[in-house]
Amino acid sequence: MTAFVPASALDRETVLVIGLGLMGASVAAGLKAVGFGGRVLASDRREADIQTGLSMGIIDGSGPLDELIPQATLVVIAVPVLAIESVLEAMAPLWRDDLVVTDVGSTKQAVRQSVARVFGYIPPNMILGHPIAGSERSGVTAAQAGLFERHKVIVTPEADSCRSALARVHALWQRLGADVLEMGVERHDDVLARTSHLPHLLAFSLVDTLARQDERLDIFRYAAGGFRDFTRIAGSDPVMWRDVFRANKTAVLGALDEFEQGVSRLRQAIEADDDDAMLGAFSRASHARHYFETLLNQASYQSMEQRNITYRASAGGHVQGRIRVPGDKSMSHRSIMLGALADGVTEVDGFLEGEDSLATLQAFREMGVVIEGPHDGRVVIHGVGMHGLQAPAGALYVGNSGTAMRLFAGLLAGQAFDTELTGDASLTRRPMGRVVDPLRLMGAHIEASEGDRPPLRIKGGQVLQRLDYDLPMASAQVKSCILLAGMYAEGETRVREPAPTRDHTERMLNGFGYPVERSGNEARLAGGGRMTGGPIDVPADISSAAFFLVAASITPGADLVLEHVGVNPTRTGVIAILQAMGADLRLENEREVGGEPVADIHVRYAPLKGVDIDPNQVPLAIDEFPVLFIAAANAEGKTRLRGAEELRVKESDRIQAMADGMAVLGIEHTVLEDGIDIVGGQYGGGTVDSLGDHRIAMAFSVAALCASEAITIQDCANVATSFPDFLSLSASIGMRVQAEEA
């Protein structure tokens, strides 16, 4: 842990900036702009720059180093990397233990070597650093007071660095508005070689190459935005960059080798008119660039860094209008998986652009599948056939998605290459024995963590055998996992389920020409078949619609139409349960789209009554229970749920998570191992925890419609896994839920 330094302690420092170029002058200007109470001194070998700094009012004094250092408490060395050693030599006789010294050099191993050469070791009060901020302009007059604001500063402390010196360096950068992070010097140089030094090298090289050509004036005259965007950094300080490339030679040459290979692959693709190779590289790059953008904007998609979002749901509100909720999550996952393994092109409409299904899409890109989009729910998958996937470079990260991990396990068990499946903290707690056990029976080699939890390491090149299997629990994920592995197994695989579960895998396989037979509770398929891609229309997700079905059912005066909702009979438990409670739900405009039944659902307010939920409906409404509990809390009398122990192994223990929140609101209930009793009535507000579970977060948002006080719901970032537009759609029908980021 870095020692804590209160912001005001910085005001007691006398900061000495050595080198009044862009970086040093921006530190000085920034300190002045934020009202720093201490003194800012500067030294520079160009006296004119010192005079400019004084006249700009960004420094308070200057003089020879041997006069300045005894006055200083915090020194920022801001000279080019290769000049740092001579500055350190000049400082060495004046070095004190209570001085804190840092630098801003863009490479760190070379600076550490300089320090070691001068002192024979790394003094614990020397904390190397590098602000990832800059400008193509240079010199004191280019100083920008806000240069470091919202930028990252990397500090690279040693194991024996002085903790309070480190804390004072953190305090300096934080005061200038930067985010400070720590890493080792080697890692720093490697990361920077790829993300900063290589792009600068390419920009210098491109402009230099073009500028040498005779018709250069014309070329520059016609140069469009692409040239301008790509080459802006070629205007940077040549001396500084010469030093950077000298100092970080090895890492830069490594990055350049990788780049040359990439360019030569593209060259070959262009020469050979290889559209797939070009589209593959461009779509991967375009996707990665958008991903980078979301990181820059601190959006959460796949950032692996959990954002802290709180919902504030005001009490009351209306439910009126006509809306279409986003695409079905289960079908979106499967459309990518089957489309990737099919021959030919699969065009998907209505794809859910939520984090779970985007993680699946990204995983296939990492296995070499060219996927265009998503753009407004449209995705085009260039299938590679049953054996066309390629080994990914690293672990496949599937975020929060149980469906992805379990279906992938089946599909990857039959591949020729090894893979590793990882996920976020919630997924890492979920049981995988339910898929690992049957896959091992088929001959798969899978290692899991203790208690059969993720990550899963799957060995490729195994010969899989057919399986005849009675599912121990009603789970479409396990059924689908076995069927997907069965496509790679010898012989006919049969799976029997204890109760019907969603059958999207079976329907979509049949739709792609891979025969799956069904009789009674058994699904069967023979290994070794093939699929042909085709169009897929993903209807709106009934699991997302469920929040509004309940919202309208409990809000007096509500009248709402949910358009184009998937009403596959293995998914409509929520409709049956709400109707049994007395809800006014009507299916309109019923039709079949791409092998799946679809309807508009018209729902109006109607008083609800408590019921004993039919156990047969449980697997058919498995994801809808959190919001059905809210329906029960608004119904007259008691609602009893049994046989729902599966709810305890979802993104959270959904029985307990809902019970804890309902206790806060004052909703009477009794928790059982496999269910819950809920007594409807008036309830209040308060702060509840969604435990990072999207469906808990959305269920309590709906609860606020009938609460007497506002409900604050913590940890809601994961709503983006299944329902990215939840807040705007809720607002459009009159609900009053707002997000706040901590």
Ligand X SMILES: O=C(O)C1=C[C@@H](OP(=O)(O)O)[C@@H](O)[C@H](O)C1
Output the known binding site: 329-330, 334, 402, 430, 475, 477, 623, 650, 654, 695
Note whether 503 binds ligand X by CB under 6 A. no
Note whether 596 binds ligand PEP by CB under 6 A. no
Note whether 480 binds ligand PEP by CB under 6 A. no
**Residue 328 annotated as catalytic:** no
**Which of 24, 423 has the CB closer to ligand X?**
423
* Sequence-separated (6 or more) residues with CB below 8 Å from residue 424: 304, 306, 399, 400
**Which of 102, 426 has the CB closer to ligand X?**
426
**Which of 156, 401 has the CB closer to ligand PEP?**
401
- Residue 646 contacts which entry, ligand PEP, ligand X, none (Cβ below 5-8 A, type-dependent): ligand X
Cis previous bond, 374, omega within 30: yes
- Give bridge partners of residue 73 from the DSSP assignment: none
Residue 563: closest CA among 582, 547, 542: 542
How far apart, in whole angstroms, are the C-alpha atoms of residue 419 and residue 462?
A: 13
User: CB under 6 A: which stretch of 242-250, 476-484, 635-643, 657-665 binds ligand X?
Assistant: 476-484
**Which of 143, 404 has the CB closer to ligand PEP?**
404
Please return the burial class of 684, using the count of CB atoms within 10 Å of its CB with bins 0-12, 13-18 and 19+.
middle
User: CB under 6 A: which stretch of 400-408, 486-494, 568-576, 578-586 binds ligand PEP?
Assistant: 400-408
**Which of 43, 501 has the CB closer to ligand PEP?**
501
Secondary structure letter of residue 622 according to DSSP:
G
How far apart, in whole angstroms, are the C-alpha atoms of residue 112 and residue 156?
A: 10
What is the closest distance, in whole angstroms, from the C-beta atom of residue 621 to ligand X in the complex? 10
Rounded to 5 degrees, φ, ψ at 314 are -70, 150
Note whether 401 binds ligand PEP by CB under 6 A. yes
SS3 call for 512? coil
Count of residues that bind ligand PEP according to CB under 6 A: 10
Note whether 695 binds ligand PEP by CB under 6 A. yes
User: CB under 6 A: which stretch of 222-230, 399-407, 454-462, 594-602 binds ligand PEP?
Assistant: 399-407
609-628 residues near ligand PEP, rule: CB under 6 A: 623
721-740 residues near ligand PEP, rule: CB under 6 A: 722
Of 49, 328, 503, 623, which is the active-site residue? 623
**Residues 692/717, Cβ–Cβ less than 8 Å:** yes
Note whether 402 binds ligand PEP by CB under 6 A. yes
Strand order in the sheet with 179-182: 129-131, 152-155, 179-182
**Structure tokens given for 262:** 């990439």
**Residues 430/475, Cβ–Cβ less than 8 Å:** no
- Residue 722 contacts which entry, ligand X, ligand PEP, none (Cβ below 5-8 A, type-dependent): ligand PEP
- Residue 231 contacts which entry, ligand X, ligand PEP, none (Cβ below 5-8 A, type-dependent): none
- Residue 695 contacts which entry, ligand PEP, ligand X, none (Cβ below 5-8 A, type-dependent): ligand PEP
Note whether 353 binds ligand PEP by CB under 6 A. no
Residue 408: closest CA among 349, 466, 455: 455
Render the burial of 640-669: b for 16+ CB within 10 Å, e for the rest: ebebbebbebbbbbbbebbbbbbebbebeb
Binding mask 597-626 for ligand X (x = CB under 6 A): -------------------------xx---
User: CB under 6 A: which stretch of 375-383, 396-404, 701-709, 734-742 binds ligand PEP?
Assistant: 396-404
**Which of 312, 429 has the CB closer to ligand X?**
429
Between the two ends of the chain, the Cα-to-Cα distance in Å is: 22
β-pairing, 370-375 vs 378-382, is antiparallel
**Which of 403, 415 has the CB closer to ligand PEP?**
403
* Sequence-separated (6 or more) residues with CB below 8 Å from residue 728: none
395-454 residues near ligand X, rule: CB under 6 A: 403
**Residues 322/552, Cβ–Cβ less than 8 Å:** no
Q: What is the total residue count of the chain?
A: 742
Count of residues that bind ligand X according to CB under 6 A: 10
User: CB under 6 A: which stretch of 81-89, 177-185, 397-405, 603-611 binds ligand PEP?
Assistant: 397-405
3-state DSSP percent of the chain in helix, strand and coil, to 5: 45, 20, 35
Task: Please identify the residue of the shown chain whose CB is closest to the bound ligand PEP.
Answer: 402
Rounded to 5 degrees, φ, ψ at 34 are -90, 10
How far apart, in whole angstroms, are the C-alpha atoms of residue 679 and residue 631?
A: 10
Note whether 462 binds ligand X by CB under 6 A. no
How far apart, in whole angstroms, are the C-alpha atoms of residue 616 and residue 25?
A: 72
- Residue 654 contacts which entry, ligand X, ligand PEP, none (Cβ below 5-8 A, type-dependent): none
What is the closest distance, in whole angstroms, from the C-beta atom of residue 403 to ligand PEP in the complex? 3
Angle, helix 238-247 to helix 249-271, in steps of 10 degrees: 100
Binding mask 318-337 for ligand PEP (x = CB under 6 A): -----------x--------
- Residue 382 contacts which entry, ligand PEP, ligand X, none (Cβ below 5-8 A, type-dependent): none
- Residue 476 contacts which entry, ligand PEP, ligand X, none (Cβ below 5-8 A, type-dependent): ligand X
**Which of 196, 403 has the CB closer to ligand PEP?**
403
Note whether 403 binds ligand PEP by CB under 6 A. yes
What is the closest distance, in whole angstroms, from the C-beta atom of residue 320 to ligand PEP in the complex? 27
Long-range pairs of 93-97 with CB within 8 A, sequence gap ≥ 24: 94/65, 94/66, 94/69, 94/70, 95/119, 95/123, 97/125
- Give bridge partners of residue 43 from the DSSP assignment: 18
Render the burial of 192-205: b for 16+ CB within 10 Å, e for the rest: bbbebbbebbbbbe
- Residue 401 contacts which entry, ligand X, ligand PEP, none (Cβ below 5-8 A, type-dependent): ligand PEP
**Which of 350, 399 has the CB closer to ligand PEP?**
399
Q: What angle do CA 682, 686, 692 make, to 5 degrees?
A: 115
Residues 384, 476, 603, 696: which binds ligand X (CB under 6 A)?
Answer: 476
Residues 475, 701, 714, 718: which binds ligand X (CB under 6 A)?
Answer: 475
* Sequence-separated (6 or more) residues with CB below 8 Å from residue 159: none
Largest CA distance in the chain: 91
- Binding-site residues for 3-phosphoshikimate: 329-330, 334, 475, 477, 623, 650
**Which of 243, 623 has the CB closer to ligand PEP?**
623
643-682 residues near ligand PEP, rule: CB under 6 A: 650-651
- Binding-site residues for phosphoenolpyruvate: 329, 402, 430, 477, 654, 695
DSSP track, 219-269: HHHH--HHHHHHHGGGGS-HHHHHHHHHHTHHHHHHHHHHHHHHHHHHHHH
Which residues bind to ligand PEP, rule: CB under 6 A?
329, 400-403, 623, 650-651, 695, 722
Which residues bind to ligand X, rule: CB under 6 A?
330, 403, 475-477, 480, 502, 622-623, 646
Catalytic residues: 623
